[in-house]
Amino acid sequence: MQKILSRIPENPTKDAKCIIMLHGVGSNQDDLFGLAPNFPEDTYIFSLQWCFSLGNGRYAWYPVDFSTGKPLYNTEDVKRGYEYILNCIKEIAGKYQLSPEQIFLMGFSQWAIMSYYTLYRSPELIGGIIALSGRLLAEIDIAHIHKEPYSSKRVFIWHGDQDRVISVESSHLAAQLVQDLSIEPMVRIYPIGHTISHDEISDIVGWL
């Protein structure tokens, strides 16, 4: 298993939240972990990193080819990243005796993409997701899915309306799918590009 950065509360309450963070393409586990001080001291914080190296300390959850103007990727690469995420969730939950309702995935860009995918595939393992500037994978199809396991989940979606990497429309489409799963998401659109601002983090902390 890849190295995991963590911040473990000294005196956690029985309902303490757990945030599992993952980075976007071209970043690493140190990136989002820098946001840890913004969360209450009794919050468990973990930051993961997957093994697809882009060089110079830069990583991705799966390789993507944009040469055609559309993202092309190998579904098996996505599944391997997803399985690693599942293993981490199970290990963290077991070691710290956390219930699914306490655990939230928080991801930016490609990790937001993986957050949606993990919620879709394994809703029973988490309480919800915080998807920052992401989109849905084509593999997500809820046409014949049983919706009851999703009804108690929580979803926070935010996006910058000046994003030139992943269009804000992607989050609007994701919000519609989340609603179709019987979840009412919290959606926030900010006047920024493909980045994270302190205002957004404050909103996330308040939402949690």
Tell me, what's the pLDDT at 33? Answer: 84
Is the pLDDT at 125 greater than 70, yes or no? yes
Q: How far apart are CA 208 and CA 130, in angstroms?
A: 10
Summarize pLDDT for 65-78 with one digit per residue, the tens. 666 667 667 788 88
Percent of the chain clearing pLDDT 90 (strictly above) = 56
Summarize pLDDT for 180-204 with one digit per residue, the tens. 999 999 999 999 999 888 888 899 9
Q: What angle do CA 60, 64, 68 make, to 5 degrees?
A: 155
Write down the pTM of the prediction.
0.90
Question: Could you give the domains of the chain?
Answer: 5-207 (3.40.50.1820)
